[in-house]
Every structure is written in structure tokens, then in C-alpha cells.
Structure 1
Amino acid sequence: MAQAGGSLAITGAKLRTNAGDTGATAILIVDGAIEMLGGDAEVRAAAERRGIRVRDVAGATVTPGLFDAHTHPHWAAAVTAGVDLGGCETLEQVRSAIAAEHARLPEGAWLRGWNLEYEAFEETGMRGDLIADAAPGRPVALMCYDLHTGLGTAPALAAAGITGPREFDDASEIVVDENGVPTGELREPTAYGILFDAAPAPTHEEDRDRLRDMFRRLAAAGLTGGAIMDGKDATVELLAELETRGELDHRITVHHWHAVGDTDADVARVIEGRDRCGRLWECGAIKLFSDGVIDTGTAWLHAPDLRGDGRAPFWPSWERYAEVVRAYHDAGMLIATHAVGDYAVHRVLEVYADLPERPGLPFHSIEHLEVLSDADVEALRGSGVTASMQPLHMQWRSAAGEDNWASRLGSERAATGYRVRDVLESGCRLVLGSDWPVAQYDPRIGMAWARGRHTPGDPSAHVFEPEQRLTGEEALLAYTLWPAQARGHADRGRIVAGAVADLTVWAADPVEATPDELISVPIVLTVVDGRIVHEA
């Protein structure tokens, strides 16, 4: 069946409209759109005349629906099917978790794991032989928490045909020892994709239902939509199928993932499909990489990190990156470029600055911007670029600067991390997201980190760069109105007549709650296209 918008009346609410205080306490939704705001009695009477369900939220706060500006739900549905290794900080803890999963699995099955942290391998380097005897004879394939490194044991490498180094179009790498034998460490998606592609794949129905259920998990945290940053043709087909089945509970922008090795024919094919859309999903957007991550030394930095890494882009030919960006730009598509290192941000800004104007179309984004020089913050001013950032990634930093990220950068450069306040004050539009499954998808956690810059729920925790904290209103705007504006949507991110009825209903005001309180504020309702998709 075709999916249609719902009709609903919400009364007894405190409204945060992102459009000024209207004095209204109620919303009437008809066929997926907000028809009117008003008082409780007025809206209730209008709803009853039309046979529309009325829901009194008894003083709860209603905000525009929360939108994750950088997420990977389809990938996450597959990755998180394995054992969660988050919190395993030592090799023994990793081995113990693998052994427990090995004992649970049937003979012959692959052991999949995700959320693996680098700290467990700081002294030894990442090697598959260190974990192999925790699951004797079984293929083991693990994904690091940042989705930039994979680790496989010898049986898994053999099944994938990984026997030595290979040349890749991008900066991906099969790491080998002094004898040319793979260690099991596989850097960046092109390399580790060989490993994970060799594992048994889910059926089409399993893949579809996992994605459906993933969206429902996101809805329980108050999310009504997101920008998928690893879109593939298969992702688009699943979204279309879910919507046809009446099972799509999320509003999605699909950024098609452009790989470095993609040809002009690939670019043309993606451009040809740019107008594909449904009621709740749209294409027309692109995701590219300019560098890797700081933890593995693959971020592109103005100066090398303290281990001598960080001076290579993801693209062997930066001119080719510029050509591809121009092709998608001229086709009217929206481009998001991953740039973690300060020099990567600098070089992407240079390419964007050379693009011709496109009146009426939104401009492009840079994703992550984990470290920024003063000059590059200034370069953002007036650029029209959207900065898409994830302050909750600071959760892996230590107060003493002993974590892998800070120890590579050094204290002075680490202090330039996640400069959300400086970016905002430069006049650059700021949007927030999770990078799920890299970090938790819960937007309450994301907003709490952006506002408090310390472990949420622990007021005594160390505060990283307190001068970079956002206000409660700014954090909410960065999950609602600003992502809508960044994508050129005038009918989203606000509670006004004519806007789409994507709403998040909170038990308490998320702006007035402290960052430490925010993570525990219950989500009463999540409404997408006028339909209640989550109810506490």
C-alpha cells in the first residue's frame, strides 16, 4: 500500500516553534502537514468536526522534529548485528568478548564485531593473530568504532582472498608485516570492504526489515529524520520498498557515496538518478571523502601529527576531486565532503570557493571539521558552507590528553578540536549529528555534549574547551531549523502552518533542561508526516 500522511491534533502543549512565540498550545495536522496552531479548545473543536484524533500531551514540550545531519542507519543495521565491543579498552577485554560470542555462535558462522577501540592495540599494533585463539578456526571480522579500520583473523582473510598488499584508487591499505603477510588490519572502506563482503550476507527481507527496525529505534530517541551519508542504489531501493509497504517511519535525504575510483560513467549514472524521491525520502545529494581520521594518522593536517603522519589526502589526485565536485555541483546536487583534519578543511574550502553560483539552490557542507586553524575558521566566514559537526565524538578524549586522538595531535592542536562556537560566530551555518554507528544516535546525548562539552550526567567531569559550548536554543536549532535551511527546505524545522508535521514531544523543555538533565528527558511522542511513530 502507498504510504500517506496522517492527521492528528496535539493539545495541552508548550510549543517551541523556531518561528517566534505564538501563544498557541495546540497543533492541528491534516494529511501530514500542519494546518493550524491555536488554543486547546479551538484546535480540539476543529479536530472533532473532522473526526481527527486528539492527543493531550499535558504540558509536554513540542519541538520541530529532530534531524540527524550525519548518520549511517543502513550500514548500522548491518554492522550492529555483531557483538558490541565498546568499552573494551584492553586486549584481554576484547579477547574475552570474542570468546563469549564464539561460544554462542553455531559452528562455521562468522563472528562479527563492531565498536572496537584502538586503545586496546596501542602497544602491539592491530593484529588479527592477537585475537585468533579466542575464536579458534572461526572467521572473525571486526570494525573499529569510527568505521575507518577493520580487523580480520587468518580464516577471515583467507575466505576474502586477502593474501598480500594491493593497490587501491584511494588511500585505503591492507597492512602487511615485514614479510608482506597481512597483519589483519585493513585501513579505510575500500580495503576492509573486501573482508566484510566475504561474510555471509543477509537476505533481502532481512536487510529490509533491519532497516525498518533501525528507523523505529531512532524514532524512540526523538529523531524524525536524517541525512544518510553512505547511500547506495540498494539503500534507495529499500527506502522505496519500505514506503510502498507503509513501513517507512523516517524522513531521509540520501547522500550517494562517491568512491575515489568511480568513473565519469558512474558520476553520470548518479546524476541521472538525482531526482528519485518518495513522500519521505529524496536523493540529489553526494558524499565524498577528503581524508581519513586522526586516530590512524590518515587525517590531512597542516603539519604532521606527533607520529609523523597526517600529510596525505584520501585522493591520489586532488584535481580529480575538484572535477567530480564541479560535475555534481553543475548538476544541481548537494555535496557533503568528509574533512576531519584542518588542512583537509582548508583544501575543500578552496575547491568550493571556485564553484559558480547556483541561485535558488543551497550550498554544500563539510563534515566533521574536528580540528580547525584560526585561518580556516575565518575562511568559513562568508563561504556559504554548512559545517556539519559531532561534538559527542569528544567522548573518547581523556582529561589528561592521553587518548590516541590527543596524543597524536599534541595539547596545543587538540585545543582546536570541535570549535562549534567559533564556527557559529564566523557566520557559518552549523548542523549537528551523530555519525551513527560511530557514536550514539540519541540526539539528547549529541545536544548535551554540544552544550556541556563533558560527559553528560556527570557534572564533575572534565570540560573540554568550555568557551566552545553552545546554548540550549542553539543546540536545538542545530538539530531542527538549521539542517532544514542547509537543504533548502522552507517547510521543515519550524512549527508553522504549511510545514510538514515532523514533531518531537518532550516530557520537559529541552532548552531549559541542563546538559546533564537533558539525556534523561523522556521522549513522549515522535511524529513523522503526521503519524505517531513512537509513543512512550
Structure 2
Amino acid sequence: MNVPSQDVLITGARIYTVNSAFDVVEAMVVREGVIIAVGSRESLEHTYTIDHVVDLKGRMVYPGWIDPHCHFAAYGAQTREVDFTGAASFEECILRAKAFPANGKWLTGAGWNHSLWPDAQLPDKTILDRAFPDRPVFMMRADRHCALVNSTALALAGIDAQTHVDGGMVEIRDGQPTGILVDAAMKRMFDCMPVPDPSDRREALLAAQAACFGVGLTGVADAGLDLSDIQLMDQLHREGDLRMNIYAMINPNAEAKEFFHTRGPLKTDFLTATSFKYFTDGAIGSHGAWMQQPYLDAPGNCGLQFYRDEDLLAEAEENLKHGFQMNTHAIGDAANHQVLDIYGRVLKGRNDKRWRIEHAQVLLPGDIDKFGTFSIIPSVQTTHATSDMPWVESKLGKDRLVDAYATRRLMMQNGLIANGSDFPVESIDPLKGFYSAVTRQNEKGDPAGGFMPDERLTREEALRAMTSWAAYANFDDDRKGSLEPGKFADFVVTDEDIMRIPDADIPEVKVYATYIRGQQVYARENVS
């Protein structure tokens, strides 16, 4: 028997459609999870037979927020690990680790940032060995490009003073490993850790989904997933447990390439896998970002180069041949220069391939214009600028900051920019990114006037960067990113108007409700 579809009227709201005209309306009609009309309540009630009315009583509605660069699966896994975020010292990290329930053989965690500690020095394994003489411990830095491990973990991974890792570093002091591993060196640890069972992976994904819904996220771009991760997400989507829209950036290993090159890009209502994700360097905080000149606080160290030009060019040509986006992590000025050069050689001019540079953090003079020349999408995280600002000058100096964190100039190249969070590196709350984009300040309001204030976005631009422009960067703008007829009814409701309240109030705004396909998936209180 066919059940007649119902028309649901969403009304009593200030609805930011984020369409091309940035129209604001008071009502919209949803049928079977899709928006069929927007406008005034009176006109919609006159045109449609309304079966149900949702009165939002004067609240604000926005397209569901999209994080165009994060680590959704890793966030879920981290909910089962020690959280070192905000630890004021290494000693506090040790206390948190000791207090964590002893489940499993390994003790793992992430989130520490030595740049914010009193001595600003990388820790070593000495104290860690005393606290955990027998249990292997793996503690990832906030940037997820560096980790501290103890002697037990080093022994299990077979790492010693003679270990050399391409694309990574094992820090050696006085002829012995200190326990600090950078970038590819961490893979030796991952290879000897127990593999989570399917039920744990499932629960981790659902935990990440719940956290996202609570802050208004209806879509995420997970920046680096193996084939098994993508297949599990697809399964959970089909079973109805996972309702988060996911844009999966594929790790370019042999298994994934064979699978996707044979079948082509994947696109379902909830899951998009149209891109391969590459890393060309590490991060500034752990001296892994590839710079043309050495770090000021690490003489002789220019960071890590992960690809030779000819190898990255071969990857780019392969992606073009098979019809995939290429999304490349580049933070240092040398890394960005390499990627821009390779992209330019393959793309040749303006295009609609939507290839992206993830982070695009430090650029050489003259390189910003290449984003426009070759239609390259900058996928940035404005909270990185406000998180890095207390210490980045001590590592790079003033001159290199002139063309760093260049949000507005990058946005002007193609008339759009994608602004994500990189969570769990930064806060999962997209309003933190919105706030940092429009103020260039941290949540304390520092510095007065903003960090590199000429790079601020307007509020409209900042909202687009986490809705319509983010959807465009994800090749999902035909279905998501704005509240228009024919698009999915994915939206978020707040009490306050983030487009009009004082700047200082933005970080305190909480989500009232989140909807996916017109169905409520989160509510602070019941919305009838």
C-alpha cells in the first residue's frame, strides 16, 4: 500500500537560505526529506496542503553546517582514549593518563600541545617510562603529526637509534631515541597496535555522529580514510544507523586505488567518495611542515618533504585520468609551492575539477594568485591561525607570516573558500571557526583588532564557507549547502542570530536543534 507523502511546513523562523542572493525567508515546505518551496508562510499555506507545522517560535534556521576538513572517524576513536587537550604541562598529561581506566594492552591518547606549556619544550620518554614501565603508551600531539611513546612501545615497534623512516623522523638525543616520533615514523606504532574490532569502530562512528549533531554539523569531510572505513560507513548508512553526510577523502594506497579506479567515484545520498587525499608535509608545531628556509627555533631543519616532484605529478595525472579530485595537505611554503606547480602542470588553466589544497597555511610571495589561475580550492581552518598565533612567529619569523593564514586573499581568487576545523585538532564546534573567520581573535577576544585583521571574512562569507562553499568543495552543491527547492532538508536551528549578534557573543551560541532530511536528529528540548 502506498503511503501518501506529507508536506511539513517549517515556520516561525528567520531562515537564511544561503542561496546565490542570500535570501532570508520565514518558512519552507519539506516533502520526503527534500525542500520543495521557500517563502512566506501565507504564500506557502495557500499553495500547498500542509499536513504538519513545525513552529520554531522566532528562532534562526541555517543550512546544516558542513565541516570541509576534519577527522570524523578519528574523533570517534578518540572518545575511547585519553584526552590531553588543554593540559597545562606534561605533568598534567601524566596525571590524566594514570587516571584513565586500564582497558586493553595499550594506553593511547591525543591532544597535548607543548607550545602552550611554560617551557614550550617537546617532552621525552624519561618521565613516561617511570610512570608506565611495562605498558606501551602512545600520546599524539594536538596536530596529529607527532607523538610521544615510551620505551616499551619503541621496543614493540622495533624502533631504535638506527631506525630511519622516509617522510618521518625518530628524534635521537645522546645516541638514543627520545620517544618523539614525527609523521611517517608514527606508522610503525600503528602497525603494531591492536586493530579495533568492527563493533568498536561502529560505536566510535556513532559517538562522532552524536557529537556532530549536537553542534549543528550535518556534513563532514573526513580527510583520509581507508577503503574499509568507507565500506563500514556505507554499510551503516544503508542500515540507517549513520545519518551524517560524509565526504570521504580516500587514502591513496594500492587497495583503495584498485577498488575505486575499477568502479569510479562513489556517490550515494549520504556518502561521497570522489577524491584522493595526499600529504606533502607535516605541521609547523612539530617542525614537519616543509619550508624553503629553516625554522628559526630549529636551525638547519626545513621540515619534511613527502613526495618527489615526479611522484606527485604521476599521482596528479592518475587522478585526472580516472576522474577523481585531488586533495593535498600542504602547510609549509615549499609544500604549497610544489603542489601549486604540479596542479598547474596538470590542470593547465581554469577548470571545474575542484582540486583542493588542504590547509594552504604558509605561502610564498606570488603563489596566492595560482589558486585563481588553476581554479584550486583553498580548504583552510581559520582556528589554526588563532591557535598558532601565540608561537608561530618564534618558529617562522615575521617575514614568512606576510603570506600565511591568508584567508581573505585566498577567498578572493575564486570567490569562495572552504573553512573547516580539522577536528579533533581544533574544536568540533563550527561556530568557533565562524568566529575566528570574522574576528581573527581567540575566544578571549585577543588580540585587540585581530591577528592579521585584513584577512577577516564578512559574516556572509564565513557562513558560506561552512555551508554552500563547503558543499561546492565537496562536489555536493547540487544537493546540499543551501536551503532551496530540490535540496535536502538538512538544517540547524539556533536561538540567537549569528549574523547580527555582537562578535563576542558568537562563541557562546548553542544549537537548539539539528535536522537531517527534515527529521530531527538532535534537540536541546523537544521541538514539535
Tell me which residue corresponds to 1:35.
36
Alignment of 1:254-403 (within 5 A): 254-258=248-252, 262=253, 267-306=257-296, 307-309=298-300, 311=302, 313-356=304-347, 361-397=352-388, 401=390, 403=391
| Separation (CA, whole Å) in 2 of partners of 1:437 and 1:27 | 34
Tell me which residue corresponds to 2:427.
440
Single out whichever of 345-354 and 409-418 deviates more from structure 2: 409-418
The residue matched to 1:194 in structure 2 has which SS? helix
| Separation (CA, whole Å) in 2 of partners of 1:73 and 1:276 | 18
**How many residue pairs align between the two structures?**
516
Alignment of 1:121-140 (within 5 A): 125-140=122-137
Tell me which residue corresponds to 1:155.
152
Tell me which residue corresponds to 2:85.
86
Contact 2:114 2:121 in 1 (8 A): no
Change (3 A) 1:471 1:112: same
Tell me which residue corresponds to 1:429.
416
Tell me which residue corresponds to 1:510.
498
Contact 1:457 1:519 in 2 (8 A): no
Change (3 A) 1:361 1:273: farther
Matched, 1:533 2:527: no
Task: Tell me the alpha carbon deviations over residues 302-355 of structure 1, each in whole angstroms, 9 at most, x when there is no partner.
Answer: 322212355455335221011011101221101111110122112211111112
Q: CA RMSD in A?
A: 2.6
Tell me which residue corresponds to 1:172.
168
Match for 1:215 among 209, 214, 217? 209
The residue matched to 2:366 in structure 1 has which SS? helix
Tell me which residue corresponds to 1:10.
10
Task: Tell me the alpha carbon deviations over residues 148-172 of structure 1, each in whole angstroms, 9 at most, x when there is no partner.
Answer: 011111122223333454344x412
Contact 1:384 1:428 in 2 (8 A): no
Tell me which residue corresponds to 1:185.
180
Q: How far 1:68 moved relative to its partner?
A: 0.5
Matching residue's letter, 2:13: A
The residue matched to 2:357 in structure 1 has which SS? strand
Match for 1:492 among 480, 489, 494? 480
Q: How far 1:408 moved relative to its partner?
A: 1.0
Contact 2:67 2:219 in 1 (8 A): yes
| Separation (CA, whole Å) in 1 of partners of 2:302 and 2:10 | 54
Q: TM-score, normalised by structure 2?
A: 0.90
Q: How far 1:294 moved relative to its partner?
A: 1.4
Tell me which residue corresponds to 2:509.
521
| Separation (CA, whole Å) in 2 of partners of 1:6 and 1:291 | 51
| Separation (CA, whole Å) in 1 of partners of 2:22 and 2:279 | 41
| Separation (CA, whole Å) in 2 of partners of 1:315 and 1:111 | 29
Change (3 A) 1:471 1:24: closer
Contact 1:44 1:54 in 2 (8 A): no
| Separation (CA, whole Å) in 2 of partners of 1:467 and 1:359 | 27
Could you tell me which runs of 5 or more consecutive residues in structure 1 were left unpaired when the two chains were aligned: none
| Separation (CA, whole Å) in 2 of partners of 1:320 and 1:358 | 21
Single out whichever of 221-230 and 449-458 deviates more from structure 2: 449-458
Matched, 1:58 2:57: yes
Matching residue's letter, 2:383: L
Single out whichever of 71-80 and 469-478 deviates more from structure 2: 71-80
| Separation (CA, whole Å) in 1 of partners of 2:415 and 2:39 | 34
The residue matched to 1:185 in structure 2 has which SS? strand
| Separation (CA, whole Å) in 2 of partners of 1:214 and 1:309 | 40
Single out whichever of 220-229 and 290-299 deviates more from structure 2: 290-299
Q: TM-score, normalised by structure 1?
A: 0.89
| Separation (CA, whole Å) in 1 of partners of 2:328 and 2:371 | 14
Matching residue's letter, 2:388: R
Q: How far 1:125 moved relative to its partner?
A: 4.1
Single out whichever of 227-236 and 525-534 deviates more from structure 2: 525-534
Q: How far 1:356 moved relative to its partner?
A: 4.2
Matching residue's letter, 2:387: W
Matching residue's letter, 2:345: D
| Separation (CA, whole Å) in 2 of partners of 1:326 and 1:105 | 48
The residue matched to 2:480 in structure 1 has which SS? coil
Matching residue's letter, 2:401: A
Contact 2:350 2:373 in 1 (8 A): no
Matching residue's letter, 2:144: L
| Separation (CA, whole Å) in 1 of partners of 2:380 and 2:47 | 42
Q: How far 1:268 moved relative to its partner?
A: 3.7
Change (3 A) 1:172 1:23: closer
The residue matched to 2:499 in structure 1 has which SS? coil
Q: How far 1:301 moved relative to its partner?
A: 1.9
Contact 1:362 1:486 in 2 (8 A): no
The residue matched to 1:27 in structure 2 has which SS? strand
Q: How far 1:84 moved relative to its partner?
A: 1.3
| Separation (CA, whole Å) in 2 of partners of 1:12 and 1:266 | 47
Change (3 A) 1:295 1:124: closer
| Separation (CA, whole Å) in 2 of partners of 1:357 and 1:292 | 27
Q: How far 1:12 moved relative to its partner?
A: 0.9
Q: How far 1:463 moved relative to its partner?
A: 2.4
Change (3 A) 1:358 1:257: farther
